[in-house]
Amino acid sequence: MLLARLGYSVIVREKQTFPRAHAGESLPPSILPILGRLGVREAVEGAGFLRPRGAHVLWSGDSPEWAGTSGDQPGFQVDRARFDQILLDAAIAAGARLLPAASADSIGAEARMAVDASGRRRVMSPRAEAFAPETLAVYAYWRQPEGMSPETLVEAGTHHWYWGAPLPDGTFNATVFVSPIEFAGRSAGELYGAKLRESILMGPHCLERVSPILVCDATPRVCSAPLVTANRIMAGESAFSIDPLSSQGVMAAMRSGIHAAAAVHTILAHADCALAAEFIESRARATVRSHARLAARGYRDSGRESAFWRERSSCRWPAVEAGPIPGLDSSVTLAEGVALRGVPFLAGDRIVAVDGIAGGSLEEPMVELGGHSVASLLRPVANRPCSARDLLEIWSRRMPARDAVRVFEHLWKAGVLATSRCA
């Protein structure tokens, strides 16, 4: 859609015939700016999807708790067949051509740039590395009980967890996330039935099943090959997939698509593959690691001790431990490996190089903080140490003193600043 709007000749090769069913129906309120950026927010809001304002969660205690959404706008429980059709129709309206049931072998043969948006199949680069324990989603659709509210249901089990959502067509998706070892000697039907009988939240809504029992991979993975080359880019779940615990997989994939469009435009119109590649790789790395830490914290918060929960409670990329905030008389400088340089930045429809910082423990370049250029804020300590007091005084000429303190604390906790041994 975005590339067609920029005037490129775009072919969408789609293996399946639309509309088609797809899992992943919960969209958080944070999807709204993305829908607005794509120009489809009005169509999605007018499609009659359910608008839940939170979730009923039975996680660490003995009784369900209410977890409301932040802000005034609710998220969505969508029919993915209709939601994805809205996006496809918008792409076609923008000028993209749809070639249905295309052979994967011929994808990209005649294109200047091919975008692999085939999800976990990764038809152009099938190698992917799991960065968390293998997980399978076992799910089916059930007829909704009369009067059911639109809120999501989330529940922790002994060796598994549940996710359930009512959908606009009157069905209810009940999913169980399990380790593959749970299938030893059992069929999907046996496993699914046994787990549902253990559930407190799901059971009352699973009275009449209206679909087969399905199984799909839900393991967080990242593509092992470079995400960007001069004629190919990986987007969405072909690039990476995150733990389903956050219910942000669709949003992350759509944001990845926006970034991919800007990268393609940067490569084809401005001949800067290296800049586009650095942007895509750094954004994917930051997304994967931040969601991995978020998921691990969520699994730890359950308080459960079985192997299923212990294995998922650790993260291979622990958060930076910056230590206590230094005193005003401390001498501070840039942390080891952090440098001021030109870094990739998304500016409208393309990626440009702007002054920023990168390196060290930063997972992606940093350009702005609190509406201020990070590079300009850190120039006083770029080449020599400076006392924290003097640095805050310099910043206080540009912003309120209270904001200067917040910026200092953020940069310290992010591992950008460090104390210097030299006075």
Give CA–CA dist 154/347, Å, rounded.
Answer: 38
Q: What angle do CA 120, 150, 67 make, to 5 degrees?
A: 85
What angle in degrees, to the nearest 10, is found between the helix axes of 401-413 and 388-396? 130
Q: Contact, 48 vs 168, CB < 8 A? A: yes
Q: What is the pLDDT of residues 297-335, one digit of tens each?
A: 999 999 999 999 999 999 999 988 888 999 999 999 999
Phi first, then psi: give them for residue 180, nearest 5 degrees.
-55, -25
Structure confidence by residue, pLDDT tens digits, 199-220: 999 989 999 999 999 999 999 9
Residue 164 near residue 175 (C-beta atoms within 8 A): yes
Provide the token pair at 313: 């409670």
Of 39-48, 105-114, 192-201, where does mean pLDDT reach its minimum?
Answer: 105-114
Report whether pLDDT(103) > 80. no
The residue behind tokens 């190919």 is 232
Number of C-beta neighbours around residue 117 at 10 A: 20
- Range name among 20-24, 80-84, 196-200, 215-219 with the lowest pLDDT average: 20-24
Q: Lowest-confidence range among 15-19, 70-74, 99-103?
A: 99-103
Q: What percent of the chain has pLDDT over 90?
A: 85
- Give 3-state DSSP helix, strand, coil % of the chain, rounded to 5: 35, 25, 40
Residue 235 has pLDDT above 80, yes or no: yes
Distance CA 263, CA 383 (A): 33
What are the residues facing 155 on neighbouring strands?
58, 162
Instruction: Determine the pLDDT at residue 321.
Output: 85
Contacts of 154 (CB under 8 A, 6+ apart): 55, 56, 57, 58, 59, 67, 161, 162, 163, 164, 201
Both tokens of 140, joined, read 């089916």
pLDDT (mean) for 35-62 = 94
Alpha-carbon distance of 259 to 110, in angstroms, equals: 23
Mean pLDDT to the nearest integer, 9-13:
94
- Mean of the pLDDT values across residues 337-348? 96
What Rg do the C-alpha atoms of the chain give, in angstroms? 24
Confidence class for position 421, pLDDT limits 50, 70, 90: low
Longest pairwise C-alpha distance within the chain: 73
| pLDDT tops 90 at residue 79 | yes
Burial grade of 109 (CB within 10 A; 0-12, 13-18, 19 or more): exposed
- The mean per-residue pLDDT over the stretch 152-163 comes to 96
More reliable by pLDDT, 422 or 362: 362
pTM: 0.92
